[in-house]
Structure 1
Amino acid sequence: MTIPLVDLTGKSCLVTGAASGIGRATATLLARLGARVLATDVNAAGLAALHRELAQTGLSTATADVTDPEDVRRAVATAVQRHGRLDVAVANAGVLPLSDVLETTPEDWDHVMAVDGKGMFLTCKYAIEAMRRTGGGAIVCVSSISGLAGQARQAAYGPAKFVASGLTVHLAVEWAAQGIRVNAVAPGTITTERVRALADEPGGPEYLTEMAAAHPLGRLGAPEEVARAIAFLASDAASFITGAVLPVDGGYLAR
């Protein structure tokens, strides 16, 4: 059997946090690989811009807040309604504060855990509900190197990404028999809009310089490089891969 690398033709895909960064790059790539993509985000203007760029591919959008169970349930239901089923869910939505434990307030902790932790749980939960009705599917969670190893000034973000990594391996075991694969990518520092904005924040320029030097390839990554890994894990080319947390980190974790 020959499986093209990477073919997503006709696959029904949901991508959260798709208005910018890794999510936008992923929604763009999946659509260009033939998938029928529903892109969601809280940023309606960003979604509108994405739709204008990719309307010819059939990509559609829906505003949704991943911290709200009804919003996530509605997004999954919309994908099923528009495309007949859900084959792929990319749980990407997240926030990235840069603070140590003394600077991080309880409110900061709650917000990061709500988006990066609870939001990923809800996306997986309702995606699995849909996928089990149609014989399976693939979920890709966006974790981080901070979800596999400790980093300074990641007091809330890092633990939230450990949730992403942990959720991935547990759900992979739990749902393998139902034909549902669950994997994750663990990006290094990626030049998303949020990361580029760090250059204007206290301590940000120093952090970016340090992080570039910490990646053995000697640079930060691009969103499109992470999107390619996500597309592979979402595709049938990865049919015997589940429970993996794949570093896309320029060698950071190999040091």
Structure 2
Amino acid sequence: MNRLEGKSAVVTGAAKGIGRATAELFAREGARLVVNDVDEAGLEDLEGRLSGEGAEVVSVVGDVSSVEDAKKIIGAAVESFGRVDVLVANAGVIPLNNIVDATPEDWDHVMAVDGRGMFLTCKFAVEAMLNQEDPGGSIICLSSISGMAGQAEQSTYGPAKFVATGITKHLAVEWAARGIRVNAVAPGTIATEAVRDLPEDYVAPMKEAHPIGRLGEPSEVANAILFLASDEASFVTGAILPVDGGYLAR
């Protein structure tokens, strides 16, 4: 449908999982892409495949928690395509631990990537969106059901996703009058590469926790992100959209 035809979009954490599915969908919808990850090999594979299918793609290897790298990621869209229309702030780590087993270093790591990294990429994207000839844009942050409800074994990851929820709401109010929409998706348990590698006896209870009775697919989250990125969501800002098979409705 070319819902992003000609738009410049940045997707962080694009080498695998939800980020990869989002980049693939955006390319099919006509976006010009900057894709980012710390996984250089995975990023090269994605860029090569999408470029081979005719998409305009620039890859930037970098750590979103680094000021220099975050600037470089957003700057690549401005340098390559002249503007930033969409940011998907997806990069993150997902540690599973309770507060007894978690270390201060665990906390610092997840907050650096999931918290500080989201802050930095949003900051530089907003700056770019304000300064371009036609100001405005759409930012989609990746929150989680763990950023909207309490869960066991989420003593570090869950609070980081509450950061994502908070950034979304505050930035949405702060920049709505300047044409910048900020929303988030809150996925349930998604069948990414990491989840598929877990033992079935660990995954089975996850499936049962979602009323639909299965895990979500990365493409299903990507579809929700596409809606929020597109002009179809022109009157939507500050929303946290669950993509969770009914988990939060219980």
Give TM class, smaller chain: over 0.9
**Local SS of the residue matching 1:183:** strand
User: What whole-Å deviation, never above 9, does each CA across 1:21-67 have from its counterpart, x for those lacking one?
Assistant: 00000011001100001000011000011012101212221111101
1:11 aligns with 2:7: yes
**Local SS of the residue matching 2:171:** helix
Equivalent position amino acid for 1:165 in 2? T
Structure 1 residues 27-42: aligned runs within 5 Å: 27-42=23-38
Deviation at residue 196 of structure 1 after TM alignment: 2.1
Partner of 1:239: 234
**Alignment coverage as a number of residue pairs:** 246
Equivalent position amino acid for 1:251 in 2? G
Partner of 2:93: 95
Asked if the contact 1:185–1:246 (Cα under 8 Å) also holds between the matched residues in 2, the reply is yes
Structure 1 gap segments, 5+ residues each: 200-204
Partner of 1:216: 211
Paired residue for 1:113, among 105, 111, 126? 111
Equivalent position amino acid for 1:144 in 2? S
1:84 aligns with 2:82: yes
Partner of 2:243: 248
User: What whole-Å deviation, never above 9, does each CA across 1:158-180 have from its counterpart, x for those lacking one?
Assistant: 00000000100000000101100
Identity %: 63
**Local SS of the residue matching 2:155:** coil
CA distance in 1, matches of 2:198, 2:137: 36
Partner of 1:225: 220
CA distance in 1, matches of 2:107, 2:202: 21
Deviation at residue 207 of structure 1 after TM alignment: 3.7
CA distance in 1, matches of 2:81, 2:62: 18
Structure 1 residues 53-72: aligned runs within 5 Å: 53-55=49-51, 56-72=54-70
Partner of 1:104: 102
Equivalent position amino acid for 1:254 in 2? A
CA distance in 2, matches of 1:237, 1:94: 27
Structure 2 gap segments, 5+ residues each: none
Kindly report the root-mean-square deviation, in angstroms, between the aligned alpha carbons of the 2 structures: 1.0
